[in-house]
Structure 1
Amino acid sequence: MYANHNFLSLILLIAINLLFAIITYQLILSNSDIKGSGIPQVEGQLAGEIDYKWLPVFIKKFIGGVLSISSGLFLGREGPSIQLGATLAQGIAKITHKIGVDRKIMISGGAAAGLSAAFNAPIASTLFVLEEIYHNFSTLVWTVALSAAVASNFVSTAIFGKTPVLHMQYFHVIPLHIYPYLIGLGIFLGLFGKMYEFFTINISKWYAKIKFLPQWIFSIIPFLLVIPIEMFVPKVSGGGSTLVLMIAKQSPLISILLFYFVLRFIFSTISYGTGTPGGIFLPMLSLGAILGALYAKALINFNLMPSYLFVNFIIVSMSAYFACISKSPFTAILLITEMVGSLQNLMALSFVTLVAYVVSDLMNSKPIYDEMLNNLLSPQKQSNLGGLFTINYSVFVGCKIDGKMVKEITWPKDTILSSIGRNDEKIIPNGSTVIKAGDNLKISTNYNNRGYVHYFMDKLVTNS
């Protein structure tokens, strides 16, 4: 605010942001594993596709995340928190000499603890690890993840208080006669979710095509562009939680909401596309809130809905928008419920979330964090050399191999289906063995081939 009236303060602010941009760029150059959200890196690590030294990543991610987020860039704190938690757990696993499954479970717990600390949402944090990272509900994983998330939430609330991150005042439940409008809201959010996914996934590729500018320029641009935003519309900057609460309280005009959406949509993709350490979790929620507010204002202006339901539409839209982009509907519903601090909207939340999820499915949308991980791995050539590596997969109901014999399935190259776990039995498979939903497949391959095998098998055993 001082920079609005003092030229020297403006020069100082520009100098500070330039310094932050240079430091952040150098950190990324020295270690590419700290780029962006950090969630794709954690997913890749637990899938056996990525590995890194924990201490350099922990230190550099922390510094880079603090500099980026404190500068006001439209980035969230949750992605770095998840990677920091997972990386610290990796370090503890190394110190205590944990390897294999034990190491992975500790990293999973660290990831859940990081998200729980960021949002005070231990149940959703646990579910995020299961639904988004593992895509199944392993007993070992969820017990450790829940324990870590609850412990992290206890420490966080003891220091920062018990007030939910997005606590809003509202006193009504959406009545059933409004639900037809919720169908339209779900379709509306699903369409815009697909657009967000497209721009976020491709922005870094578009940067790479601009050959006449050095790459370091792109890292500096968001740090400079955020200065006028903070000078004139400071509540719009940052991750977006302040903006969401402001919209819920003030109920702005449609024209102002449109301005907020365009500004946050463009600048959040610009911020993330540079690889600057920071998440898209909270920016996604803020965009969903704005879209829900726009839709609600239109209904109110046409006298189709009472104005007292305005806040309810903001809440359900955050869940639906996040779910259709991340493809994690259970996490979305519980996350918003915990962040808002009320169960009143649970039915409407679930309804709109499922509609938006179906719309995104019909448009062939992919989980955004999986797509980001694909982008990270695409330059890396998979090799068939290395030590023996075993991967376990759960067979989902209705997947491509459910009900098929082993000999009828096209398996990934250079792999062996060594055993099938069914109930409490171990089956040594042959060509005529029928794969059934709920089976646990043990696939053996070479260590350096694990990434290729994971993505091949993921398409076989899940419904994605």
Structure 2
Amino acid sequence: MPALAVVVGAGAGLGSIAFRWLIATFTHLFSGHPDYAAAGHAAHPEFPWLGPYFVLIAPVAGGLLYGPLVDRFAKEARGHGVPEVMLAVAQRGGRINPQVSVVKALASALCIGSGGSVGREGPIVQIGSALGSTLGRVAKVPADRLRLLVACGAAGGISATFNAPLAGVFFAMELILGAFSAEAFGAAVLASVTAGVIGRAAFGNTAFLTLPPFHVEHLGQYGLFAVLGVVAGVVGVGFTRILYWVEDACDWAWRGPEWLRPAAGGLPLGLMLLALPEMYGVGYSVLEKATQGGYAVAFLLLLLAGKVVATSLTIGIGGSGGVFAPSLFIGAMLGAAYGAVAGHLMPGTAGDAGAYALVGMGAVFAGASRAPITAVVILFELTGQYTIILPLMLAIVLATATSRLLSHDTIYTLKLRRRGIDLHAPAPQAPLGTQTVDTVMEAAPPLLSVNTELGTAADLLTRSDHGALPVVDDHGHCVGTLTARAVAEALAASPDARPTRVSDLAQPAPAITADMPLATALHALVTATGTGLPVLDPGTGHLVGWLTHQSALRALHSAPTPTATMT
């Protein structure tokens, strides 16, 4: 497995080099500039007679190229990419279509190069993950290792593209796998380090964003950063909602073939770029200028709103690209405007507005993705600004909490839920977990009252087939379980310290209801002491059955075996 992780990391590193070269090539081809977002309303050097109006044509031409490519060869390459990888890991055993890596690279580079207002982290995650999945299937590794190789590809892609090896690891753990383990961490580190070495050899060992140093100069600033975190959480959720609202509007408005949709939608996108050329492509140069105080507050707010609309429109018309860079852009505009206003109102306390821009970047990303660890680490690595780490952590945690209060889903999971997919539910063809608990539970064993003497309870446990018995109160509500081990330890204690009643030893049990999916109940069952757990009526809370390991295994044995599919 370590060797495979290294190979996947190397592939992701090389893939990121090729992807960034493609973006630079297509950007220069379509706009005539290395970064048109920083060029203002400049004309294309090859077509000066068009003036700035060439931006009306560029998105249309780009859409004519990548629209048929995506529609014909890999439809999953449309959009921002990360949700498809999360789905592959959660419910498809890590299987990703092999040609996704090539199609995604070309489609995203064409989209960004022709003016699409999206980022490159989603594409590189999908590219690296597809490489990991393909290598794992060639090597015929088991499903759990295949999922791990997919995460290794994502870690390597982030590491090489942004010179952020730690962020790559935590991105893979927190967003792709959704869990931490020593084996997964070790494999992701190997892939990330390998990709990072390759990336640094190609791009140099410097921070991705060049920003002036920021410092917290007054304790009162922490209160301002806390408020910014809450506001950023709201903005992150708002960005998510608008993104999918615009996508719905585009679905409603378009009635033609899907391959033509990006070209047709390129015209309104071009009109927006004509009015606000700062929206062209990824826009990191505009982001850096905002953190350095290069824009007035009103224009910062215009750029914020413009990025939300431009990114939503790019995704809505069928474009291919990520939402990480746009969320950083939105956060920088929000933070810079917030810092400028705070500095005007509290000049002796607020400090440098650039610090708020930096914190806003991480907080809006956290509010949209709800990945606080990744947000903290990636902002530190992208900027090299350790002096701002404390307010950054504070704002990111508050943004995440605010996002959780306002929305059940993140910018990544909402795309899947809108298609009827719940990442935490069992896979559609899973043999175990689609049933509800009441279809597999056993009859309830003898009940123990909280007032039962301990000796009586011990007798009942010795005659029972279970290592635990349910305990109910005077109203018949289940309050927990009593295990044989707890009784044995109590009876072995000295007479003065020995408890006398069941209520002294009853242990609270997880709330398992009869209508709960078995897949959900299994998480509680595998950690339970004894051999089973009480099942409650969802309405009254009364005991109606008993869920054991044996009953769950019988459900697995009687379930039909799914037919494996390879994509």
- TM bucket, shorter chain: 0.7 to 0.9
Q: Quote the residue 1:25 is aligned against.
A: 67
Report the Cα distance in structure 2 between the residues aligned to 1:205 and 1:447, rounded to whole angstroms.
37
Report the Cα distance in structure 2 between the residues aligned to 1:446 and 1:200, rounded to whole angstroms.
40
TM-score when normalising by structure 2: 0.67
What is the letter of the counterpart of residue 147 of structure 1?
L
Give the stretch that moved more between structures: 104-113 or 239-248.
239-248
Q: Kindly tell me: are residues 383 and 194 of structure 1, through their superposed partners in 2, closer, same or farther at Cα, counting changes over 3 Å?
A: closer
SS of residue paired to 2:337: helix
SS of residue paired to 1:55: coil
What is the letter of the counterpart of residue 54 of structure 1?
N
What is the letter of the counterpart of residue 198 of structure 2?
V
- Of the three residues 234, 243, 251, the one matched with 1:208 is 251
TM-score when normalising by structure 1: 0.81
Q: Which of the two has higher C-alpha Rg?
A: 2
Residues 109 and 144 of structure 1 are in contact (CA less than 8 Å); yes or no, is this contact kept in structure 2? yes
Report the Cα distance in structure 2 between the residues aligned to 1:102 and 1:173, rounded to whole angstroms.
44
Shift of 1:238: 1.6
Report the Cα distance in structure 1 between the residues aligned to 2:217 and 2:105, rounded to whole angstroms.
41
Point out where structure 1 has 5 or more consecutive residues left out of the alignment. Answer: 392-401, 436-440, 451-464
For 1:162-196, what per-residue CA distance to the aligned partner results, in whole angstroms no more than 9, with x for missing partners? 12112311242353121222222122212222211
Residues 362 and 396 of structure 2 are in contact (CA less than 8 Å); yes or no, is this contact kept in structure 1? yes
Report the Cα distance in structure 2 between the residues aligned to 1:237 and 1:102, rounded to whole angstroms.
40
Matching of residues 238-257 of structure 1 within 5 Å: 238-257=281-300
Give the stretch that moved more between structures: 19-28 or 382-391.
382-391
Structure having the higher helix fraction is 1
The question of 1:74 aligning with 2:117 is answered yes
Matching of residues 38-77 of structure 1 within 5 Å: 38-49=81-92, 54-77=97-120
- Of the three residues 516, 527, 532, the one matched with 1:430 is 532
Give the stretch that moved more between structures: 147-156 or 219-228.
219-228
**How many pairs align?**
430
For 1:103-158, what per-residue CA distance to the aligned partner results, in whole angstroms no more than 9, with x for missing partners? 11111111111111221111122112222223321222111112111211111111
SS of residue paired to 1:173: coil
Q: Quote the residue 1:335 is aligned against.
A: 378
Q: Quote the residue 1:397 is aligned against.
A: none
Report the Cα distance in structure 1 between the residues aligned to 2:523 and 2:409, rounded to whole angstroms.
30
Q: Kindly tell me: are residues 378 and 137 of structure 1, through their superposed partners in 2, closer, same or farther at Cα, counting changes over 3 Å?
A: closer
Give the stretch that moved more between structures: 108-117 or 187-196.
187-196
Q: Quote the residue 1:98 is aligned against.
A: 141
Q: Kindly tell me: are residues 53 and 406 of structure 1, through their superposed partners in 2, closer, same or farther at Cα, counting changes over 3 Å?
A: same
Report the Cα distance in structure 2 between the residues aligned to 1:193 and 1:101, rounded to whole angstroms.
33
For 1:50-96, what per-residue CA distance to the aligned partner results, in whole angstroms no more than 9, with x for missing partners? 87653321221111011011112111000000000000011111221
Q: Kindly tell me: are residues 6 and 93 of structure 1, through their superposed partners in 2, closer, same or farther at Cα, counting changes over 3 Å?
A: same
The question of 1:2 aligning with 2:43 is answered yes
Q: Kindly tell me: are residues 405 and 344 of structure 1, through their superposed partners in 2, closer, same or farther at Cα, counting changes over 3 Å?
A: closer
What is the letter of the counterpart of residue 532 of structure 2?
N
Residues 159 and 168 of structure 2 are in contact (CA less than 8 Å); yes or no, is this contact kept in structure 1? yes
Residues 372 and 400 of structure 2 are in contact (CA less than 8 Å); yes or no, is this contact kept in structure 1? yes
Residues 18 and 224 of structure 1 are in contact (CA less than 8 Å); yes or no, is this contact kept in structure 2? yes
Q: Quote the residue 1:459 is aligned against.
A: none
Q: Quote the residue 2:410 is aligned against.
A: 367
Q: Kindly tell me: are residues 431 and 232 of structure 1, through their superposed partners in 2, closer, same or farther at Cα, counting changes over 3 Å?
A: closer
Report the Cα distance in structure 2 between the residues aligned to 1:79 and 1:118, rounded to whole angstroms.
11
The question of 1:258 aligning with 2:301 is answered yes
Residues 130 and 142 of structure 1 are in contact (CA less than 8 Å); yes or no, is this contact kept in structure 2? yes
Q: Kindly tell me: are residues 420 and 327 of structure 1, through their superposed partners in 2, closer, same or farther at Cα, counting changes over 3 Å?
A: same
SS of residue paired to 2:91: coil
- Of the three residues 194, 212, 234, the one matched with 1:169 is 212
Residues 73 and 222 of structure 1 are in contact (CA less than 8 Å); yes or no, is this contact kept in structure 2? no
- Of the three residues 312, 315, 319, the one matched with 2:355 is 312
Report the Cα distance in structure 2 between the residues aligned to 1:371 and 1:156, rounded to whole angstroms.
32
For 1:235-281, what per-residue CA distance to the aligned partner results, in whole angstroms no more than 9, with x for missing partners? 44222321111112243111211221121111111111223210001
Give the stretch that moved more between structures: 9-18 or 92-101.
9-18
Identity %: 22
